[in-house]
Structure formats: C-alpha cells, structure tokens
Chain A
Amino acid sequence: MFRYSLAAIAAAAAMLVAPIDASAQQTLAQVKARGSLNCQVGLPTPGFYALSAAGVWSGMDVDMCRAVAAAIFDDPAKVQYQSVTSAVRFTALANGESDMLSRTTTWTAVRDTQLGLEFAGVNFYDGQGFLVSKASGITSARGLDGATICVLTGTTTELNLADYFRANRMTFTPVTNENVNVLVETYLGGGCDAYTNDKSSLAARRSAFPSPNDYVILPETISKEPLGPVVRHGDNNWGDIVRWVLFGMIEAEEMGVSSANVTEMLASPSPGIRRLLGNEGNIGEGMGLPKDFMVRVLRHLGNYGEVYERNVGVNTAVGIPRAGSLNALWNNGGILYPMPFR
C-alpha cells in the first residue's frame, strides 16, 4: 500500500542519481553471476502467482519464471520472487530491480513503445469481464448503467471499463484501489455492485470467496487482454531467451513432448523434436544457453498444456476450461501458435 508508493519514489529517485548503465545487453551475464533470476510477480493471486502458507510461489506466471531459471541454471528454484503492486511494476523493471516481469500484464502499444519495455510473448489470452452476485439479478453488462464498480487502479482494466461505458452511453462510479486484496474486501463488503477484471482473474478470485457459487461472471468480454512476460527494452538477447522458452513450451505440447516422456523423446528421429531438444541445430547456443535448454525446461516444468492444467485447468480450484478457448493450440481451435522452432 503506502510503502509501494514510497518504492515508486525511491525508484524514480534512483534514476536521478544512478550512473548511466552501459551494460544494457548484459542481463544474462548478470543473472548467471548472481546465481538467481529476479522475477517480478504480483500480489498473491490464485492460479497465476499464488503463495502457499509455507511461502512457496506457484502458478501460471510463476512457472514462466521457473522455466527461464530452469533454462539457465537447470534448476527452477533459482528464482528470487519480487511481489509488488501493479502500480510500480514497470518502474521496478525499468530500473533494473527485476530481470523480467511475469504477472498477467497486458501487451499494449503504449507500454511496448513508451515505457522502455519489451513484451516477450503471450502466455494467456484473456478478456475483461464483470463479476456480480447472483442475488443482484444482473445478467448482462448492459444492465450495469449507474452501477458502482470496483476496479484495480493503474491497469488496462481501468481504461477498458471507462471506454466500455462511454461507448455504450452508460455511467458508472469507480471504486479504485491499487491493492487487489483491499478491493476484493470492499466488493465482498458490498461497497460495489460489480467487480471487474480479466475473466481469468475473476475466476481465480471467485474460487477463494467464502461462497463462490453465489457469484456469476457476466457473459460479455469487453476487451482483448493478451497477457505475457515482459523484459527491459535494449537487451534483445535476453528478450529472445524469454520468448523462445515460452514458444518452446507451446511447441513441445504441439509435438507431444511432455515432462513424462522427454527422456524417451531424446531418442526420437523426428527432426522437429530433435531441434527442440537440442540434438540438431544450435538454437540454444545462439542465445548463450546450452543446446538442451528445452530439455531442462520440459523436465522440470513440462509443456504449456501441463503448466496450464496444473495451475488454472478445470481440475484446479480456479477451473478455467481450456478446450474451445483462445488458449487452446492453433490446430485445436485456439489461437496459441508458436513460431517455428528451427
């Protein structure tokens, strides 16, 4: 809360006096020298960056951090997690505190071009929706005219919300907070008629409500929210590493390589699998990683499908169905389409 604002000031102040950093291209070397990856996630959220009672991080986005650490160190545990509010996420990345950011962040033009950031890809296609209580009797977002709506401040969600109501000539009163936990508490206390966020996040939050079945997510999706990992602008090699670890995990699912069969697949004659696992070509070495970096990732984390089902799939508390959604593979009705691994 307040200390995060202080962090923003400290970050800005650091930029005032810090000497000019000439080693923008050295992220990989710095990570190796440090012996761990500084990976930024958000305030604990089920499914994406959840924190267990024992202090262990897990989730879709946490697995992205772990995959990059596995590719570099062959050890997914070599990650220092930084949990900060949405409001200071980009400052913390831009000034070098974090090596990468993996925390349901939407890829937008302004963020990509004006904030010194580089989006490495998309690991979850999402869209914004509204959560209301069943008792309210609301069945459509069009029925929200005049409503009070809880929204996380400093997010694209906040802008989409205003756009949607403007476009449909409706009015609303926002109740904002930068801390998602405070906001949800306000919503559950009856401070708002609806809570808006990315639909995946609504499902994740609802799973932790005292009585999840009393709440319903409205059918409308009011925005495109491609969520993915982000790195600093200027270190293209580092961006490549994050991007191709992500593509590699999707490619592995497409080729049927998983954590269970990766050892057997090393003997596969298929040229595509041989390239993915580093038996052919030098994709890993070109980025400063060993040839078999994807073997490491797959052995520790598994492919994209495994990561999805483990964290947010239908068998988890979050329970977001994958089949038929945007997040299915491109040859399976979705739009998840990894660039060719060759």
Chain B
Amino acid sequence: MTTPILSNATARAIFYQALTVLGVVLLFWYTITNTVENMSQRGMSAGFDFLDVSAGFGIGFKLIDYREGDSYLRVFEVGIANTLLVAVIGIALATVIGLVVGLARLSGNWLISTIARWYIEMLRNTPLLLQIIAWYFGVFNLLPRPRDSVEWGGLFFLNNRGFYLPSPEPGQGFGLTLIALAAGIAAAFVVRAHARQRLFETGKLPRVIPAMIALVILPALLVFALTGQPLAWNVPVLRGFNFQGGTSVPPSFCALIIALSIYTSCFIAEIIRSGIQSVSHGQTEAARALGVKPSRTMRYIILPQAMRVIIPPLISQYLNLTKNSSLAIAIGFPDLVSVWMNTSLNQSGRAIPIVAMTMGFYCAVSLAVSLVMNRYNRRAMLSER
C-alpha cells in the first residue's frame, strides 16, 4: 500500500526545501532589482564599469606596484595585498607572543605567571581601537624626525616616517644559490626521516640536528661564494626629506601590527593555557614515570592532546585579527577598507558595488582561513586515542 503523497516524509521534505530555495531566490531578486531601480531613480549609476577608470590618487604604502594613473581595480588589488600582509604578519606575531605568554601564565615561577596574567588582563580589557590609536600617536608619531633617526649599524633606521631596512637585490646567478638551499633543505629532511626510523627500530635518537643545519647552510654558502656573491643590499640613505632606497613600512603599519598582535595574543595565550590545562595531569605524571624529559613531555604528549581544544577557538581569533585589521582606517594605514571602501568609494561615489566587493573579500578570506584551519583540526583530532 502506498502512502498518500502529502504524508510521505521525503516528498514533504523536498517540497519545503524547494519552497525555501524559492523564497531565498525571490528575496535576492527583490533586493537587487529594487536597489538598481532606487539608484537609477536617484540618478546614481550602479554597475562595475568604474573599475577601469583611472583612480588618480596616491597610496602611501603598497606591496604591489601602483601609480596614480592606475585603475580602481588596481586600487582594490593594492588594498587586498596590504590587508593580507597585515593579517599574515599579525597572525604569526600574535601566535608566537600568545604561545610565550600562555606558557608563562602556567609557569611555576610566581613572578613570571603574575606578569603574564597582568599583561593579559590589562590588554584584553581595553578597546582595540584605543590601543591602535595609542600606539600610533603615543609611540610612532613621537619618534624623532628623519634627520635624527634611531639607527642600528647604519642599516636599519626608525623615525616618525617609518621603519627603514635594507632590501636584497639578487644579481645574475643568485638562482643557483636558491637551488642549493632547496637541495640542502630536502637533504636535511631525508636525514630526519632516517633518524626517526632509527629511533623506532633501536629506541635511540641519533644526534642529527647539527648535521641538518650544516646540510642546509653549507652547500648554499659554497655555491654563493663560487658564483661570486651575486647579492647586493640596497641600503636606505638619507637624501632630501627622507630615506631613499631599501624597503620601508610606514608608522601606521607598525602601530597597527603591534596593536593587533598584542591584543590578539592575550586571547591566544588564554586559549593555549586552557588547552594545556585540559590535558589531565595524569598524562604528565605517566610521562615522568616513564622517564620522558619535561621538554619532550610538552612537545610530544601534552601539546598534541591540547591542540584539539586549542584549534577551534584559535580559528576564531585568526578571523578576528583579519577583520579587526580594518580598524587601520583610524590611523590612515591604506588597507582594503581604507583605500577601497573609504577613498575609492568617496572618489567614485559607487557605494553599492564597492561595499559588496569589500564584503565579498572579507567573506572569502574568512572562509579560506577557516577551511585551512578546519583541515588541520581534523588531523589534530585523529591523534586522539
């Protein structure tokens, strides 16, 4: 006997899903047509045709080439590159600081753990925007003028226009050195794999670290010397108003990176502390009973188990840092929000396409970061036994 179509669970499920899809499509259609109609009624042009138009304004810091005559699309790319640079450096720094502070928080030494605790409580309980502005106006804007720069060995200079450092300029044949370096790294990995195999077979860990370091450095150095040292350094020199040559980052970049990574490091420190404390103390005792060194206990026994607790909230912190980098606008660092959603929007007047593109970018980046971290999370979960 067949059930009537209305009481068939599958048929009903399909029906409701189709209805939902239809509703969502209709909502989008309504929103888009209504927007376009509203805009044309107000004499505002919609569409993306402005992307080819020359932008005509300068950008203070750019990772990729940009000149004033370039198109708006190029401005978008410059903004993306700057935002990603801040996110990558910020995440790396925040993780390192967070790890150190998190471990310091667990230290048996009263002074170290108290300092770490104060660091966390002071910094994570004040608004990030305030911290960014404080670093900018309180530190980097107050540095000496270019003529009185703080300098290290005539190579690195710090002043209120930025941080200047030498940039490498590879000459002909430098590729060979890079190839030698890559070969050295590959050889070091082979040695490491071999050492592990020995460990599993004999239970003894051979000392291979000095050999690995030698493998990485020596061949590269040899090739570098034989090819006639084909690498020049472009050292910044004070000429006219400011330092010319080398690489530099503006004060707003320094302020943003420091504020973002310090602020985020507090949360990461707490995440790492909670992750480590979630591993039962019995594990440490068992490792000690078996004669495992404390440093190895942390590395091979505690951390792998703590990771499954650490990673999910860590993903959120990485995403937060990326999105918080948009606060750069307060101190004028040309990140995506600043050059694209502020300057370009205002110069071209195309609010809707520009806001949509910006949101699309942040959404894509956040999804990509969480995808990568979720992959890693799945791997970390497998190591639980």
> A: which residues have CB within 8 A of B?
1-2, 5, 8-9, 11-12, 15-18, 20-21, 24, 86-88, 90-91, 94, 110-111, 114-116, 145-148, 153-155, 158-159, 161-163, 165-166, 172-179, 182-183, 185-186, 189-191, 193, 232-234
CB A40 to nearest CB in B, in angstroms, measures 14
C-beta contact mask, B297-329 vs A, less than 8 Å → 1, else 0? 000000000000000000000000000001101
Q: Given A162-B58, A174-B58, A186-B332, list of 6 further CB < 8 A pairs?
A: A16-B352, A21-B41, A116-B42, A148-B241, A154-B347, A175-B332
A13 to chain B, nearest CB (A): 8
- Known A-B contacts A91-B351, A162-B56; the reply to A177 vs B332 at CB < 8 A is yes
- A192 to B59: give the CA distance in the assembly, Å: 14
Known A-B contacts A177-B332, A189-B137; A5 and B244 likewise in contact (beta carbons under 8 Å):
no
Q: Is the CB of B352 within 8 A of A233?
A: no
> Would you call A176 and B338 a contact (CB within 8 A)?
yes
Q: Are A233 and B334 in contact (CB under 8 A)?
A: no
Q: In whole Å, how far is B320's beta carbon from the nearest beta carbon of chain A?
A: 15
Bound together, the chains give a CA A232 to CA B41 distance in angstroms of 12
B250 and A87: CB pair below 8 A? Answer: no
Q: Please measure, in the bound complex, the distance between the C-alpha atom of A162 and the C-alpha atom of B70, giving whole angstroms.
A: 12
The answer to whether B60 touches A146, judged by C-beta atoms less than 8 angstroms apart, is no
Tell me how many residues of B have a C-beta within 8 Å of chain A: 53
Interface residues as binary, B144-171 with A (CB distance below 8 Å gives 1, 0 otherwise): 0100000000000000110000000000
Render B127-157 as a binary contact track against A, CB cut-off 8 A, 1 for contact: 0010000000100011001000000000000
Selected from B39, B68, B160, the residue in CB contact (under 8 A) with A189 is B160
B240 at the interface (CB under 8 A from A): yes
A8 touches B331 (CB 8 A): no
Check B68–A162 contact: CB distance below 8 A.
Answer: yes
**Distance of A290 Cα from B141 Cα, bound (Å):** 55
Q: In this assembly, does B229 line the interface, its C-beta being within 8 Å of a C-beta of chain A?
A: no
Quote the shortest CB–CB distance from A340 to chain B (angstroms).
Answer: 29
Q: Which residue of A lies closest to B244 (CB)?
A: A146
Chain B hits for A116, CB < 8 A: 42-44
B292 at the interface (CB under 8 A from A): no
Question: Most chain-B Cβ atoms within 10 A of its Cβ — which of A12, A146, A161, A185?
Answer: A12
Complex A-B: 17 CB contacts under 8 Å:
A2-B129, A15-B38, A15-B39, A86-B346, A87-B343, A91-B351, A110-B348, A115-B349, A147-B242, A159-B347, A166-B68, A173-B242, A174-B57, A178-B342, A182-B331, A189-B141, A189-B142
Let me know if B161 and A159 touch, CB within 8 A: no
Q: Which residues of A contact B348 (CB under 8 A)?
A: 110
> Chain B, 38-71, contact with A by CB distance < 8 Å: what is the 0/1 string?
1101111100000000001111100000001100
Contact residues in A for B240 (Cβ distance below 8 Å)? 145-147
Interface window among B29-37, B84-92, B208-216: B29-37
Query: In this assembly, does B97 line the interface, its C-beta being within 8 Å of a C-beta of chain A?
Result: no
**Nearest A-chain residue to B161, judged by Cβ:** A148
Cα(A24)–Cα(B252), bound, Å: 43
Q: A16-B34, A178-B329 are in contact. Are A115 and B161 (CB under 8 A)?
A: no
Asked whether A17 lies within 8 Å of B31 as measured between CB atoms, the reply is yes
Complex Cα spacing A173 to B348, Å: 22
- The answer to whether B343 and A5 have CB atoms under 8 Å apart is no
B251 within 8 A of partner (CB): yes
Cβ of B345 and Cβ of A8 under 8 Å apart? yes
User: Are B141 and A5 in contact, with the CB atoms below 8 A?
Assistant: no
Determine whether the beta carbon of A2 is less than 8 Å from that of B327: yes
- The reply to whether B56 and A159 contact each other, CB–CB distance below 8 Å, is yes
Interfacial chain A residues near B38, Cβ < 8 Å: 15, 18, 20-21
Minimum Cβ distance to chain B for residue A10 (Å): 10
State the CA gap A115–B327 with chains docked (Å).
Answer: 27
Taken together as a complex, chains A and B put the C-alpha atoms of A146 and B242 apart, in Å, by 7
CA distance A110 to B242 in the complex (A): 36
* CB-defined contacts of A8 to chain B, threshold 8 Å: 341-342, 345, 351, 355
In the complex formed, the residue of B with least CB distance to A148 is B161
Q: Which residues of B contact A2 (CB under 8 A)?
A: 129, 327, 329-330
Q: Name the residue on A nearest B57 (C-beta).
A: A158
Least CB distance from A311 to B in Å reads: 26
Name the contact of A191 in the complex, choosing from B161, B338, B342, B351 (C-beta under 8 A).
B161
Residues on A with C-beta less than 8 A from B160 are 189-191
Kindly state the separation between the CA atoms of A289 and B73 in the bound complex, as whole angstroms.
Answer: 47
Would B41 and A182 count as touching, CB distance under 8 A? no
In contact, B137 and A185 (Cβ under 8 angstroms): yes
B329 contacts A1, C-beta separation under 8 Å? yes
Q: How far is the CA of A176 from the CA of B145 in the complex (A)?
A: 18
Q: Are A5 and B351 in contact (CB under 8 A)?
A: no
Residues of chain A with a CB closer than 8 A to B58's CB: 158, 161-162, 165, 172-174
**In the docked arrangement, what's the CA distance between A8 and B352, Å?**
10
Q: Whose C-beta in chain A lies nearest to the C-beta of B351?
A: A12
Chain A contacts of B137 at CB under 8 A? 185-186, 189
Q: Give complex CA distance A190, B142 in Å.
A: 8
Question: Which residues of chain A have C-beta atoms less than 8 A from B142's C-beta?
Answer: 189
* Contact A115–B44 (Cβ < 8 Å): yes
6 smallest A-B Cβ distances: which pairs? A154-B346, A116-B43, A177-B332, A162-B68, A115-B349, A189-B141
